[in-house]
């Protein structure tokens, strides 16, 4: 039994809509991956700063007074900021998303079932 033109047009429109959504998801994933890279580089830079300051303190490079502590507090992230960074990293976990190939396979299966 041949498919009605209206059903074919509706299916084509649905496929175009799904394809657009897939492209948007792919774009968001790319953005999230870039953000992850930036956060990773920031954490590495912060770790390097911490190591340098620890060495400086061990060598006696600071007076150990309130001024040094205030300077350290300005240079580092607070616990709240670190929690926020962790939340962002957990939120943008790209492993929770489907790949384009997986979605296309799913669409092909649905179209085959519909035929």
**Which whole-number Å values give the CA distances from 93 to 5, 35, 73, in the listed order?**
42, 11, 30
Number of domains in the chain: 1
Q: Is residue 20 included in any domain, yes or no?
A: yes
Check pLDDT > 80 for residue 13. yes
The contacts of residue 3 (CB under 8 Å, 6+ apart) are 115
Check pLDDT > 90 for residue 22. yes
Q: Is residue 84 included in any domain, yes or no?
A: yes
Render pLDDT for 55-92 as a digit per residue (tens, 0 to 9).
Answer: 877 776 555 555 566 666 666 777 788 888 888 777 77
Q: Is residue 88 included in any domain, yes or no?
A: yes
The predicted pLDDT at position 85 comes to: 80
What range does the domain containing 23 cover? 5-94
The contacts of residue 85 (CB under 8 Å, 6+ apart) are 39, 42, 43, 77
Q: Is residue 101 included in any domain, yes or no?
A: no
The predicted pLDDT at position 71 comes to: 63
Q: Is residue 76 included in any domain, yes or no?
A: yes
Q: Is residue 109 included in any domain, yes or no?
A: no
pTM: 0.41
Asked if residue 100 lies in contact with residue 29, where contact means CB atoms within 8 angstroms, the answer is no
Confidence of residue 28 (pLDDT cuts 50, 70, 90): very high
Render pLDDT for 37-57 as a digit per residue (tens, 0 to 9).
Answer: 888 888 888 888 888 888 877
Q: Is residue 40 included in any domain, yes or no?
A: yes
The contacts of residue 98 (CB under 8 Å, 6+ apart) are 25, 106
Q: Is residue 15 included in any domain, yes or no?
A: yes
More confident residue, 76 or 2: 76
Check pLDDT > 90 for residue 16. yes
């Amino acid at each position: 039994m041949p498919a009605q033109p209206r059903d074919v047009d509706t299916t084509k429109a649905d496929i175009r809509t799904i394809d657009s959504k897939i492209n948007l998801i792919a774009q968001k994933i790319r953005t999230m991956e870039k953000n992850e890279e930036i956060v990773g580089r920031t954490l590495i830079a912060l770790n390097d700063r911490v190591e340098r300051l620890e060495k400086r303190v061990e060598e006696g490079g600071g007076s150990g007074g309130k001024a040094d502590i205030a300077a350290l507090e300005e240079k580092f992230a607070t616990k709240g900021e670190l929690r926020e960074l962790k939340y962002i990293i957990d939120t943008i976990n790209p492993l929770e998303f489907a790949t384009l190939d997986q979605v296309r396979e799913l669409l092909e299966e649905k179209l085959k079932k519909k035929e």
